[in-house]
Amino acid sequence: MAAKQILKKKHLEEEELAKLKKLDDNSVQEEYEYVTVPPDGGFGWVVAIAAMLCNLICDGTLFAFGTMKIHLQEYFKCSDMLILMVGSVPCGVYLLVGPIVSGLANRYGCRPIIIIGSIGAAICMALSTLSPSVWVMMIVYGVFGGIFFGMVYLPSVVMVSFYFDKKRSIANGLVTAGTGLGALSFGPLADLLMSKFGWKIGMLIFAGIMLTGILFGLIMRPLKPQKVPVKREIELQSPVTPQTQKNQDLSSPQAILKTTDGANEVLLPTADESARISTTATVPVGDVNSNEIPAVTTVDPTSSPLNQSSRNRTISSSSHASVSSGENRVGVSNPEDASRPLYKKDAFVSGSIQQLHHGSRTSLNKTNPYVSSVTNIPAAANEEKKKDSAARAFIDILGAMTDFSILKNKQLLLICIGNIFSMLGYYLPIMCLVSFAVEDLKVNKTHASFLLTIFGLFNTIGRFAGGPIAMIPHLNALRVHNALLFTAGILTVLAAYAYNLTTCALYAALCGFAIAPHMSLLPSVIYDCVGLDRYTTAFGILFLFRGVTSIIGPPAAGFLKDATKKYDMAFAIGGAMIIVASFFHIFIAFVQPESETEIEKEQEKVQKKNKLDV
């Protein structure tokens, strides 16, 4: 009997080996995946300069409204509240359309969106000169112009993230300088043109400047994905050690998952369930360490682990493909998805993802940062799914950036509430300081226009200086951000007591520097609160909060000016709003952050959603 049982077991083992041998006939096969590798230099610097110039003409035009306001108000004979709405509406709308523009950029590419935005913004500015009333200008220049301004601004920022990884902080610093340079130069330029030729000719000249965005958009060519071969191998091993014999049935051979460093893991179910085994699990491309390969369990969920403990099997799937840069990359089967910039989770990260990985408490444990940055790309395993990927490219990003469930994160909720208050006062020095100096302090109009130059210069310095200051021992991004935001609020309150051009210039310089980290350091704070997986969602929600209050803030200041005949009350209350905002951000440090378990659960939800959507 014992001899028959042994022969029967050997016969079963031979059958098992024969089944797996069929798989082994195609054990070494060439497959291809597509990856995009940031050049971190070269033509990328040309793209960064083009993005800087996009920021310059876009933000510069919007920030110059503080000077334009005086000329427009003289023509339309309207209240401060109404004329300030003309300037605030585009500032808010171009943030509100952020999720939609992001989806369009992901669907059609950044280049055509920037070109269309430049043409549309120029047309709206030109048509605004025909406005018979301030309300018509509010719609033409404010609403429609704001939409097209957003189509220029957002894709240009995203393109820099697509071209840079390690040197991204430097590239984004260059891009950020465009905003400051625009504020620095366009204010006096607007006063010069509108004083000499009238506001209509001046607006037409600004429309012509806006058309240069077509050239900058043409420069931003998308990165071409590289076709990378992927080899997959299946290796069979039989248990030989006494310890293995105790834990596993002798009749069950093993197929071992071999990683690039030789580590083995048992993953798959018994031979009876071999029909359910998938042999084409996605494998990272490049030289990947074993602790960077996520365990892909292909055990049938309905089977009990206890029933499988004696007979386990895995399929070896090791990648030998490499990319010339030496960085770890995740490939996809659809080349179009590989070139979609918003499928990168770090598209809105202003610095290197490796730096955030090492410096954040929500860093990606046992995961290569760049690999994680591209795992939002949906799988497209066949031609039918590839056809749907174009439509999904828009829907995926729009859905991700309008997912309000992220507000369950208490720290992000505090940031969003804080930004409601901060944006009520943020545009005060930009849109009201020149009028305050001219109307309340009787400063020469030409001299007053240079207050925006001072503000822009020191704002640029502040954006560059925020990062190094945050790296000082015992400081971090949150502490520096909060301290300087509180300081900006105090300075804005004290601006109500300015009495001449010198005191206004002093306020413009100090406030320009202090308010800068609210834009440059807040992304790092958000990253610490939500992690990389939901970073794009957090930014989309923040765009919406900021957009609404950006529209409300300047007209509210104008209402106070109309009621009191002076701007001092507007600056005092606007500064108080910024101070309140700083306290909401200070409270972040006292709120318990999401545990790693909760973050992992959120990551699993995102991954499951992506799989279900395929």
Query: How does pLDDT run across 551-598, given as a tens digit for each residue?
Result: 999 999 999 999 999 999 999 999 999 999 999 999 999 998 876 555
How far from 411 is each of 138, 261, 417, 534, 548, CA to CA, in Å?
Answer: 36, 40, 10, 13, 20
Q: CA angle, corner 65, sides to 76 and 495, nearest 5?
A: 105
Q: Which of 233-237, 389-393, 481-485 has the highest mean pLDDT?
A: 481-485
How far from 326 is each of 42, 288, 321, 322, 329, CA to CA, in Å?
Answer: 17, 10, 11, 7, 9
d(CA 147, CA 137): 14
Q: What is the mean pLDDT of residues 331-358?
A: 63
* Cβ(337)–Cβ(370) below 8 Å: no
Instruction: Measure the N-to-C terminal CA separation of the chain; round to a whole number of Å.
Output: 53
Q: Is the pLDDT of residue 542 over 90?
A: yes
Nearest of 142, 177, 35, 156 to residue 102 by alpha carbon: 156
Flag the least confident range among 128-132, 334-338, 528-532.
Answer: 334-338
Query: How do 226-232 and 257-258 pair as beta strands?
Result: unpaired
Structure-model confidence comparison of residues 183 and 307, the more confident one: 183
Q: CA angle, corner 382, sides to 377 and 384, nearest 5?
A: 100
For tokens 């309905």, name the residue: 302
Nearest of 467, 437, 439, 469 to residue 453 by alpha carbon: 437
Q: Is the pLDDT of residue 369 over 50?
A: no
User: Tell me: domain 404-598, CATH 1.20.1250.20, correct?
Assistant: yes
Exposed e or buried b for every residue in 408-437, given b needs 16+ CB within 10 A?
Answer: ebebbbbbbbbbbbbbbbbbbbbbbbbbbb
Q: Is the pLDDT of residue 200 over 60?
A: yes
Q: Is the pLDDT of residue 210 over 50?
A: yes
Q: Where are the domains of the chain?
A: 34-230+393-402, 404-598
Flag the least confident range among 239-248, 313-322, 434-443, 514-523.
Answer: 313-322
Flag the least confident range among 15-29, 168-182, 192-206.
Answer: 15-29
Q: For position 496, what pLDDT does the model report?
A: 92
* Cβ(102)–Cβ(535) below 8 Å: no
Structure-model confidence comparison of residues 334 and 244, the more confident one: 334
In three-state secondary structure terms, 56 is helix
Structure-model confidence comparison of residues 596 and 516, the more confident one: 516
Mean pLDDT of the chain: 76
Residues forming a β-bridge with 253: none
Q: Is the pLDDT of residue 278 over 50?
A: no
Q: What is the mean pLDDT of residues 500-520?
A: 93
Q: Is the pLDDT of residue 117 over 70?
A: yes
Q: For position 2, what pLDDT does the model report?
A: 64
In three-state secondary structure terms, 606 is helix
Q: What is the mean pLDDT of residues 343-359?
A: 60
Q: For position 219, what pLDDT does the model report?
A: 92
* Cβ(255)–Cβ(314) below 8 Å: yes
At position 600, the amino acid (one-letter code) is: E
Task: Evaluate whether 34-230+393-402 and 404-598 have a shared fold.
Answer: yes
Banded model confidence at residue 268, pLDDT cuts 50, 70, 90: very low
Q: How do residues 425-457 score in pLDDT, each as one tens digit?
A: 999 999 999 999 999 999 998 899 899 999 999
Nearest of 432, 372, 401, 387 to residue 555 by alpha carbon: 432
- Whether pTM > 0.85 for this model: the answer is no
Banded model confidence at residue 217, pLDDT cuts 50, 70, 90: very high
Q: How do residues 30-49 score in pLDDT, each as one tens digit?
A: 566 667 777 888 888 999 99
Q: For position 250, what pLDDT does the model report?
A: 41
Q: Is the pLDDT of residue 400 over 70?
A: yes
Q: Is the pLDDT of residue 25 over 80?
A: no
Q: Which of 152-156, 506-510, 529-533 has the highest mean pLDDT?
A: 506-510
Q: Is the pLDDT of residue 599 over 60?
A: no
Structure-model confidence comparison of residues 347 and 40, the more confident one: 40
Structure-model confidence comparison of residues 576 and 356, the more confident one: 576
Regarding the domain with residue range 34-230+393-402, which homologous superfamily does it belong to in the CATH classification? MFS general substrate transporter like domains (1.20.1250.20)
Query: How do 264-265 and 257-258 pair as beta strands?
Result: antiparallel
